[in-house]
Structure 1
């Protein structure tokens, strides 16, 4: 698959977290680029991470422009899966070597950062697996892994691995509950409108 098709398919996954993709995808991309700063940040990240822009100066300009427009820092070297959802896009910092899986939700004020003084298996940055919800103000620091289908509570500070299907809260974050379903299903079941 060429880079432009990968770029479009990842943007479709991102948009599908906002709404059902049932109309012309290019019009939806344009609409969300204009109206959603979270989508704009993902657009710039995907544009740069797939090396669709090769000029170094232009890459730096796009990075700075993206930060000014969105207040979200997602470096092009971080690996972000499709379907990232940022409902309140302000003051989010993601480490340049971080790996984020698919269908992850990140609330405002989240920091996903590395720790150069604490390496594990040659990495210093977090791995966030698929279907993870990260609450407002949470900090995930160092070479930790947040397991699939986990929920990190607001203002939690994660400095140790969180197993899959867990709810972790506190400073430092501790697992307080195991869940059997992905968080989108739990939300639909418990908070249906």
Structure 2
């Protein structure tokens, strides 16, 4: 067969495929430990295996996942992503002009338990509040309050997530946590 030698070379990797988060965590650990060469090589593996750009400098919280292997994901080097987020394929989180008054960043900050659907674009100094849902192909250039569903281009509020309708959206924004009333009162 034409690709036998390549398959043999790739066998250890194919036998133990890894996720963007695993590669990113290793790259970030290397960067923090001062091994920037190894960190850059791991970043390259993310590009090769997942067709994505996720630099080691990005802060990604525990439990965050990339749907469909994160194909086509682009994250700005200074982006901050919270815990238990779900990021779809072809998502871009990019910089912009200005500085956010709360985050003091010129790039998006995404709080915990946010669901970002396929194709969404989030640009500039914006804060995406906890337990929010960004709809497919939405273009977000303004803050999204906590417990809010947005969609469209430009993104507009479509619905609020309340105590009453939370069970409907739990599989998107609460998949790794136990429901308690405190999630609606914590900031």
TM-score range, shorter chain: 0.7 to 0.9
Structure 1: which 5+ runs fail to align?
A: 1-29, 189-193
Q: Deviations over 1:141-187 (max 9, x none)?
A: 00101111110000000000000000101111011100122733478
- Structure number with greater Rg is 2
Q: 1:84 to 1:31 in 2, by over 3 A?
A: farther
Q: Deviations over 1:103-157 (max 9, x none)?
A: 1001110001111x22224411101111111011000000101111110000000
Residue of structure 2 equivalent to 1:97: 78
**Pick from 104, 123, 131: which aligns with 1:149?**
131
- Please identify, of 54-63 and 83-92, the stretch whose mean Cα deviation from structure 2 is larger: 54-63
- Please identify, of 176-185 and 72-81, the stretch whose mean Cα deviation from structure 2 is larger: 176-185
Q: 1:187 to 1:80 in 2, by over 3 A?
A: closer
Residue of structure 2 equivalent to 1:23: none
1:1-193 equivalences in 2 (<5 Å): 34-36=16-18, 39=19, 41-51=20-30, 54-88=34-68, 89-115=70-96, 117-121=97-101, 122-180=104-162, 181=166, 183-185=169-171
Deviation at 1:65, TM superposition (A): 2.3
Distance 1:187 1:126 in 2: 18
Q: CA RMSD of the aligned region, Å?
A: 2.5
- Please identify, of 66-75 and 145-154, the stretch whose mean Cα deviation from structure 2 is larger: 66-75
Deviation at 1:45, TM superposition (A): 1.1
Distance 1:33 1:167 in 2: 39
Deviation at 1:86, TM superposition (A): 1.4
Q: 1:86 to 1:152 in 2, by over 3 A?
A: same
Q: Deviations over 1:38-89 (max 9, x none)?
A: x2x2112111222366333332222212211111222111111011111212
Question: Is the 1:104–1:130 Cα contact (8 Å) retained in structure 2?
Answer: yes
What TM-score, normalized to structure 1? 0.72
Distance 2:116 2:36 in 1: 32
